[in-house]
Amino acid sequence: MRQGRIAIRIFVSCCVVLLCLAGRAVSSAPQLSVADWLHTEAELSMTKLQRAISPVGSAPGVVIASPQRQAPDYYKHWVRDAALTMDTLFDSALYSNSTQYQDKVDSLMNQYALFSRQNQLVSTSAGLGEPVFEVNGDVFRGPWGRPQNDGPAIRAIALGKWALSLLARGGRVYVQTYLYAAEIPAKRVVKADMEYVAHHWQDSSFDLWEEVRGEHFFTLMMQRKALLIGAVLAEKMSDVGAATYYREQAQNIFVRLNSFWDGNRNHLVATINWREGVNYKGSGLDVAVLLGLLYGEVDGAFSLKDPRSLKTFDKLKSVFSKIYPINQKNPTLAPALGRYPEDRYSGSDFNGGNPWVLSTLAAAEYCYKLAGSLSQSKQPTLRAHARVAMSMGDSFVERVKFHVNDDGSLSEQIDRQTGFMTSARDLTWNYAAILRTWWAREKVRLH
């Protein structure tokens, strides 16, 4: 508890320094407020996100990572990106009160569920951990980091949440036929993913950046969340033994996750038990941890207020502020964050890593969620900290707003020298990240 307070205090004092700097430059430019810009950008993101689903000429249910077809070619269905996108689309229906929109989301989720089941049935070397499919449903067979075991977990989260929502709306027959039935071998998409996750979380796999085989904080957080959702679904589908088994495995994963705290370095590391792949990630600092905390949030375990999370966040913020010229050129804004400090991938080559939009938005989402939770406190000091966290979140959003294309579109990366958008254009994941960030900000009630 005391440690938590100290960590929050450190977080706040770092924010205050940055915000004092930020005040000067930002106020001079006539521009939309953060809230207005984020709202406008969220509307654009809804359109862009839907455009990425089942694009003309592709199999229904495909979600392209980006419309860009070369350097880099992202015109493919990445299991991870697709699942994060569809999970966000599902959430968007919860926030909408238009039944027409909710019907549309159900129909897109249905296409995605059917396509995902086809993906599972294609015979591949990586089993359900196969990371990428072509837009006609063939498996992508180029050399790649396989398996990536976060994929089936996130797919199970998106479709598992949808299954629960269908059950609550009287859709048991559909769920039983297409999503989840208590049978082994599993023949429905969610059950198959849950079984895969429950039996394979101990296997090493490639990380979300597709570069390192080992055990990963992000992957385990997503696997744990999937199994906890799976347990609830299993109970409702009279799959009692499975519910118990999924809960047990989720608990085992929780224990494993504690090994990612590195007491010497004082932060959570992204990977343990490195086996192969990129070997120049000396710091262990990685936005993958932040994404694991945010996207893997389910029952308060590894909360954003946990001192381990706060320390990791602070370190990420400070390490990235030092390495990218655009951050030094404009220190008035919160720093743009990359994937990890040692990154070399620039989209088409390995000339040096850049800041990423989705990483910078994750920092904003983290601050807003922290603000939301601190603002509930009975203690005036913590409520004051909530205001600081909120402003910090705004400063990260200002950073993205500063580099966005004139038409509001967002590419994967921000050139570290020029500040212009670079690498894959219209990265679908970015639009999901905008929506998550906007929702997180909308929920904050400062007192």
Distance from C-alpha of 354 to C-alpha of 406, rounded to nearest angstrom: 20
Closest to ligand NOJ by CB, 41 vs 81, is 81
Buried b (16+ CB within 10 A) or exposed e, 325-352: ebbeebebbbbbbbbbbbbebbbeeeee
Q: How far is the CB of 209 from ligand NOJ (least distance, A)?
A: 4
Site for ligand NOJ in 87-116 (CB under 6 A): none
Regarding 74 and contact with ligand NOJ (CB under 6 A), the answer is yes
Site for ligand NOJ in 190-209 (CB under 6 A): 208-209
Question: Contact, 83 vs 157, CB < 8 A?
Answer: yes
Question: Contact, 221 vs 302, CB < 8 A?
Answer: yes
370 burial level (CB within 10 Å; 0-12, 13-18, 19+)? buried
Concatenated DSSP letters for 200-236? HTTS-EE-TTS-EEEEEHHHHHHHHHHHHHHHHHHHH
Q: How far is the CB of 430 from ligand NOJ (least distance, A)?
A: 9
Torsion angle of the four alpha carbons 264, 269, 275, 279, in this order, in degrees rounded to the nearest 10: -90
Which secondary structure element, helix H or strand E, spans residue 368, and what is its range? helix 357-374
Distances (CA, A) of 325 to 128, 354, 419: 40, 10, 9
Closest to ligand NOJ by CB, 75 vs 178, is 75
Q: Which two tokens stand for residue 381?
A: 């000091």
The single residue among 37, 345, 396, 438 that binds ligand NOJ, judged by CB under 6 A, is 345
Window 422-441: contact mask with ligand NOJ (x via CB under 6 A): -------x------------
Which secondary structure element, helix H or strand E, spans residue 23, and what is its range? helix 2-26
Count of residues in contact with ligand NOJ, rule CB under 6 A: 11
Q: Which stretch binds ligand NOJ (CB under 6 A): 78-86, 166-174, 222-230, 237-245?
A: 78-86
Residue nearest to ligand NOJ (CB): 345
Window 296-335: contact mask with ligand NOJ (x via CB under 6 A): ----------------------------------------
The single residue among 134, 210, 297, 442 that binds ligand NOJ, judged by CB under 6 A, is 210
Closest to ligand NOJ by CB, 37 vs 209, is 209
Closest to ligand NOJ by CB, 330 vs 430, is 430
Closest to ligand NOJ by CB, 80 vs 317, is 80
Q: How far is the CB of 159 from ligand NOJ (least distance, A)?
A: 18
The single residue among 211, 239, 306, 415 that binds ligand NOJ, judged by CB under 6 A, is 211
Distance from C-alpha of 78 to C-alpha of 134, rounded to nearest angstrom: 9
Q: Which stretch binds ligand NOJ (CB under 6 A): 7-15, 56-64, 74-82, 110-118?
A: 74-82
Q: How far is the CB of 439 from ligand NOJ (least distance, A)?
A: 22
Regarding 78 and contact with ligand NOJ (CB under 6 A), the answer is yes
Q: How far is the CB of 78 from ligand NOJ (least distance, A)?
A: 4
Q: How far is the CB of 211 from ligand NOJ (least distance, A)?
A: 5
Closest to ligand NOJ by CB, 43 vs 73, is 73
Distances (CA, A) of 273 to 206, 222, 265, 429: 12, 18, 17, 28
Closest to ligand NOJ by CB, 261 vs 324, is 324
Closest to ligand NOJ by CB, 348 vs 376, is 348
Look up residue 67 and give its amino acid. Answer: P
Q: What secondary structure, in 3-state letters, does 227-261 show?
A: HHHHHHHHHHCCCHHHHHHHHHHHHHHHHHHHHHE
β-partners of residue 216 are 271
Site for ligand NOJ in 122-151 (CB under 6 A): none
Distance from C-alpha of 427 to C-alpha of 417, rounded to nearest angstrom: 20
Q: Which two tokens stand for residue 114?
A: 């059917």
Q: Which stretch binds ligand NOJ (CB under 6 A): 73-81, 217-225, 253-261, 371-379?
A: 73-81
Distances (CA, A) of 329 to 203, 217, 341: 43, 33, 18
3-state secondary structure of 437: helix
Strand extents, DSSP E, 100-194: 132-133
Residues in contact with ligand NOJ by CB under 6 A are 65, 74, 78, 80-81, 208-211, 345, 429
